[in-house]
Structure 1
Amino acid sequence: MVFFLPKKDDNTIARTKVLENVLTSTSQGDPYKELWRRIWKATVPGKVQIYVWRACSNLLPTRAKLSTKGYQGDLQCLLCSHAYEDTSHVFCKCPIATAILTASPFNLGSSLLPSLEFKEWLLDHARNLPNDLFAKLLMILWALWKNRNNMLWNHTKQSAEELVLSSLAWLEEFGKANKINKTALSKPKQAWRPAGYGTWKLNVDGSFLPGIAHGGVRGVLHDDAGQFRAAFAAPIPAVASTRQVELWAIKEGLKLVATMQVSNIIIETDCLEAVSCIAETQFTYVHDEGIIDDIRQELNHRTDISVQHTSRVNNRVAHCLANLAFEARHSSMWFMKPPDFIVGVLNDDCKHLR
């Protein structure tokens, strides 16, 4: 008796090969670790890194993604009227995307989509493209999303040629600015630093989008040597403003500190408004009076804890947890070992300490 097995198509074979390469090259931890490393090491603007990370994590508000959050409107692509606008379509399948990616300098005509998910597709190129071309690819992905949003909000869009020229021109200017900063400026690069001997530092951040009732908070705790000790990410079901969600982040950070029973803590946030309203003697923001009062009471009992403002540059790790918290349905905590998807940013922030 002869059995005939179903023949696999080329896309299925290619997808299996890519994933086998990834999984066999990673004996433990996140199989996408190389993708995260390439994204955070790429010489591109920080906002581009953040948005590409969000795309890989399926956190961008495409119409398909919004439909899982209660959106019941049109699911068509804003640019080409394809029936279903998801991350893979926006960045790889939409005609303007394919026109760019199959042309020079990318020449990705043998793209494995649609059999690969977007994150798998980008991982494949992260493993094979040289640094300069991978940086250009990230810029194009950012430009494609910006072009989509311009169509949504302003009813305007760029052609493929305009999009490539504008995004690569921005990359060139960014590269020149970085070169100047490295060679001509005497001012040292701002970098995250531990609090100092005997004091731990907790960096917190909040995420909020106008028109959406919920938000997310997160925080990362380092000891006095800069070593990771804990992190948290939690959804906040009812949020009315950016200031309010940042206050919630501080409050949840205080809970983490209490849970771990540690002392001598500096809590850092990149929201100066939140720090200011905690320090004020009278309530200026009536709607936030309850949460501000809770924070003040805790700080009055814990004189070893202070809340300070820092720049966004020094709050990158907490910021990278933003979208996880925003999209999550349940709270998460990590102790001693950080989640894989922030390891790259953690290492980058602390490399000057070694």
Structure 2
Amino acid sequence: MGFRPHRPSDENLERRCNPKPCLNHLASGQSSSDPLGDRPVWDSIWKANVPQKIRVFGWRTATNTLAVLENVHRRISTTRPTCSICGSAEEDTHHALVECTLAKALRHGMRSVWTLPPESEFCKSGKEWFLIMITNAAPEMRVKLMFLFWRVWHHRNNIVHGDGKASVSVSIPFLQNYLSSFKDANVTLGSSKGKGLLYPSQSLVSSHVDVSKWLPPPAGAVSVCVDAGWDAVSKRAGSGAVIRDDQGSIIRSSWKFHPYCESAEEAEAKACLEGLHQLLHTNRIPGILETDCQRVVQTVTSENFDRSHHHGVFI
């Protein structure tokens, strides 16, 4: 659901949190609802070192175009603006991301692993509270805040529109791994465009990334390289396969979305299966299947019957 940006009145901004003088220019010329404005404060969103989808979320938050119930009520008067999660107040953007019991629970949990600003700095400093907060924050803190608010919004939507099974306790390690993986990807790939891992590895234990050189298959054979990514919260996964000849030339490639996988091992197993399917289409044999999942390799090469919940993939 989309909304026409609501143009706040800069003259009536409340200053309960005493924002720093560097934001005094918020009251001049343009409002945060003008996405084409050239105010330097917009760099705090569009140049933040976060994935592009989180930048877009930050822009929607700053321009008050999230589908919170207050915005819905303004356009559909029969809709109640009261928060459907805690019921304690009308759901505006600040309530959904900061004041709601759900937002407080995740923020409290993240304090056990992240250093976050004191609660007093999360107060509502007016309609531009989000821009004020992230612009005043140091670059590293700004990244954490944008990740945190984005995840709160995910939980809110899961309760209001989904099955409500998203767990706050799971989101704590998820955000840790996501931020760590994104930083590693940027360092390794030299990315400056906000591109990161869609499904960060849940087994990440080190910031060191070991890049091995690809070894070609024997003459006349082809190599089938597969890999998968898995999200422990949504149970969704994605897989990809690349088939190369002994000269390194790509013969065929594919990717596939898996709406549900019980584990990372199941996602890797389905990636192997997809790679074999693609190999059949090439009519090129022999083929060497390559995967980085030791559990799958052990299961496929073992003579014992696999009794795991994803044994059907190996049959």
Q: TM-score, normalization: structure 1?
A: 0.42
Higher helix residue share: 1
Higher Cα Rg: structure 1 or 2?
2
- RCO comparison, higher one (Cα < 8 Å, 6+): 1
TM-score by length of 2: 0.47
